[in-house]
Amino acid sequence: MRPLNVILLSILFFSSCDNESVNAKSSAEELLTAGTWYFWSINGGEAYDCVKQTNLIFNPDGVLDLNTYVRMPDYTCGGPYPTQAQWTLKNDGKIVSWNGEDFTIEKLTEKEFIKSLVSEGTKYTWVYKR
């Protein structure tokens, strides 16, 4: 009887781990696609008001809409400059990828999305808010 209990507990343990990874990925997808994300800062430096209009829209069909705004030399606001990309989640929802770049999801809540990327030894961290 004891070996049977061990086998049953092992099956429950491994099936619950699998469900957790599926739940983590679906939870990340639900949070990303729940609305528009507005750029807030990069590497701790808060963006200009104009640039804060820059936004990401993760569509459930895998299309990412990026609307970029830039502060012009004469201090006016330029944009939106819309582009699209295909996005995917990897590593159980811990990495979001588009345009050939893998961004680590540092934090993802209903109100805040923080992603990072290491490029040529330098870490870049972007903060987006709703």
- pLDDT top residue among 64 and 6: 64
Confidence band for 24, pLDDT divided at 50, 70 and 90: low
Number of domains present in the structure of the chain: 1
pTM: 0.79
Q: pLDDT tens across 32-50, in order?
A: 999 999 999 999 999 999 9
Q: What is the CATH number of the domain that holds 13?
A: 2.40.128.280
Minimal CA–CA distance to 20: which of 108, 113, 95, 93? 93
- Say if residues 51 and 69 touch (Cβ distance below 8 Å): yes
pLDDT value for 8 = 36
Task: State the virtual CA torsion across 117, 46, 51, 63 in degrees, nearest 10.
Answer: 30
